[in-house]
Chain A
Amino acid sequence: MVESLLGKRMACVLALAAAPLFAQSGDAAKGKAVVESSGCLRCHRIGENGSRTGPNLSEIGDKRSAEQLKTSITDPDAEVLAENRFVAVTLKDGSVVRGRILNHDAMSVQLIDGKQNLRSFLTANIRGYTILTKGLMPKPNLTDEQVADVVAYLSTLKGTEAP
């Protein structure tokens, strides 16, 4: 199960954003605290903090509207961008390696696993693999107010300019 990789506690965000009014209704500072205390960074990365396994949120405020961000929190399966898909690789011994898919072709598959290792498997050396498009992020247990706060915070993430 993908959840075993991500951890049910990892109530995180992903992808998507909201009408400006929605974003404005939340408190970005409170949202930042929610993100940092709810395990989001065990999968996601913001700036220099968090994991590289899930989608990087450092510039998510530029990429997704507030409404999309809200949807991605309250209904994580509603829209998963192709580049955020995961893959489950079944090895010859039956064990499974999961992670975010980075590439694949007729001969091999590449991913970043839960420990942030870049890994590559030859299809000849595995039983097979499945690309996972749903169930990648558990729905966080947040109040409507907390969701609004998180969306407000994420909407402020516009990346940083190179010095």
Chain B
Amino acid sequence: MIAGVLRPLLVLACAAAMVSAQVTSERILHANKEPQNWLTYGGGYASQRYSLLTQLNPTNAKDLKLKWVYRPKYMEKMEATPLVVDGVLYTVQNSEVAALDAATGRIFWTFHYAVPPESNQYVMVVKGLAIAGDTLFWATYDGHLIAIDAKAGTAIWNKKLVDWHQGYQLNVAPLVVKDKLILGPATNEEGANCWVAAYDIKTGNELWRFYTAPISDDDPVAKTWFGDSWKHGGSPIWVTGSYDPETNLTFWGTGNPNPGWNGDKRPGDDLYSDCVVALDADTGKLKWHYQFTPHDEYDWDSVQVPVLATIPWEGKPRKVVLWANRNGFFYVLDRISGKFLLGKAFVKQTWNVGFDEVGRPMKAPGIDPKPTNGMHVLPGTQGGTNWYSPSFSPNTGLFYVSSWENYDAPTSKGLIEVWRPGGKYSGNSRPPGAPRRPRGAGRGPSPAFRTEAEGYGAVKALDPSTGQQKWEFKMVDYTESGVLTTASDLLFSGGKEGNFFALNARDGALLWHTNLGGTVASGPVTYLANGRQYVVVCADNAMYAFGLPDGAD
């Protein structure tokens, strides 16, 4: 009787409590205490994409089976890293956010927002969401920041941060730090000067802003450009940064200067393009910066995810930032001072002959491109890696990165366009009479026929103390997939071939694979639902979840 009434109520209450627990700042700070969830883009403030879950391991990985597929009604490519909070998985395409049951893939709700296609002429893809309290945050491609009720799937507020008509977009997953959302706009070769900024979680009001390209002649870094070239310097933000609670610093990578392929109008270093900037999370004040590619004319955005780690360095533990850059070099920087500790190529490269004592790269003679000469450079414009999230495993002590090896592409320095708001400002326009580049010439033959010497994709394992490669897992085609590692020494990744695979993180041995029929261009994540470990990844425009068969240990 009474007991019979109370029991269902209690069960309901417990279930509700589990689902409704708010994602507090404290929870995000200690995300490693709840490995059943995936609370931030990088799997925690250090962005290591390393999970403490061990239910899946190198012994049983061969038994992984498809558990569910989520195919949104929109055909847009999915590159977002999902969030998982207490059994609910949140993901996003360019026009829709969805909340799914993490165990079955069934939809709780969807939230649609129509992004004008004209705002996304390059068909770029949103990278993810953020969550704080019971609110999801979505930075849309047309420049809006939308707060969404995580339970109801309804908008709480919608704030326009930037005007896409002026050449701005938003596609980054915001980073929640205390009461702030940290993010910045991108400009897709449109010469709109960008920034990293903090916005109030409750209102979306801006709290601080750090410009990654100058906005006035008075800015000391304007001198690192030339004349008024700083006015359209770009330096976009399009991949999420990291946060170090000990120093209260947030680290962000910045994109290439504009015009990207022709630096003749900006003959200086062009700060803060192609940098990592370490900012005080409360004020946005710059603590230090390091520029990976001064005066870039190769499109080597430094928007890789800053991976924070403590590694052995000269016999002592050292707090560092690990960074495999699009320019083909793996860097180790002191996290507190920004001091350059190591720069070592992780793919074949031809542009750099070394570093000076402060870590400034020394360009190889004759490597500066000239209009129409199509000089070949290694790595090519897509780089040794790009935005794909790497991983660091404290268990193996190795850093893992998706890479493009033997990737050789001609420079495409051309004419500089007349700047206009929202117009192309890339510096690679074809001069009159110049021959058109063959389609696809920069990436060699089709991967169906490609030899290793003509380029291949790989997951590489690097020793961060030396930059030495420990192993590599080769693919035929290149890869845009992120990397996930676990405390059981599993590594998950994929590539453009459509393969999604598990490797032994210690030696790169292939343990399991499946083909998903479309490019894997997202970062896999892992979580628990109903006590079972899942790993999910997106391929093309669908999300796939894998786990052990029902009844398996």
Contacts and interface: CB of A to CB of B under 8 A. Distances in A.
Contact of A106 (B445, B446, B451, B499): B499
A142 B441 CA distance: 35
B360 interface: no
A102 interface: yes
A105 B495 CA distance: 10
B416 interface: no
A133 B513 CA distance: 29
B449 A105 contact: no
Interface string A49-86: 00000000000000000000000000000000011010
Q: Chain B: interface secondary structure?
A: loop
Contact of B476 (A106, A124, A133): A106
- The interface size bin for chain B is 20 to 34
A73 B209 CA distance: 66
B445 A104 contact: no
Contacts of B497: 105-107
A105 B496 CA distance: 10
Q: Chain A: interface secondary structure?
A: mixed
B448 A106 contact: no
Contacts of A104: 447-448, 476
Contacts of A107: 497, 499, 513, 515
Given A106-B499, A107-B513, A85 B449 contact: yes
Contact of A82 (B445, B474, B498, B513): B445
A39 B446 CA distance: 30
B477 A105 contact: yes
B450 interface: yes
B276 interface: no
Contact of A131 (B446, B451, B475): B451
Interface residues of A, number: 13
A136 interface: no
A101 interface: yes
Interface string B62-98: 0000000000000000000000000000000000000
Interface string A98-136: 000111111100000000000000001000000101000
Contact of A133 (B451, B499, B515): B451
A75 to B, nearest CB: 20
Contact of B446 (A82, A105, A124): A82
A1 to B, nearest CB: 19
Interface of A: 82-83, 85, 101-107, 124, 131, 133
Interface of B: 445-451, 473-477, 495, 497-499, 501, 510, 513, 515
17 contacts: A82-B446, A83-B446, A83-B448, A83-B449, A101-B448, A101-B449, A103-B448, A104-B447, A105-B447, A105-B498, A106-B473, A106-B474, A106-B499, A107-B499, A107-B513, A107-B515, A131-B451
State the 7 A-B residue pairs at the shortest beta-carbon distance, nearest first: A82-B445, A105-B497, A82-B449, A106-B475, A103-B448, A131-B451, A105-B476
Given A102-B448, A106-B499, A131-B451, 8 more contacts: A82-B449, A83-B446, A104-B447, A104-B476, A105-B477, A106-B475, A107-B497, A131-B449
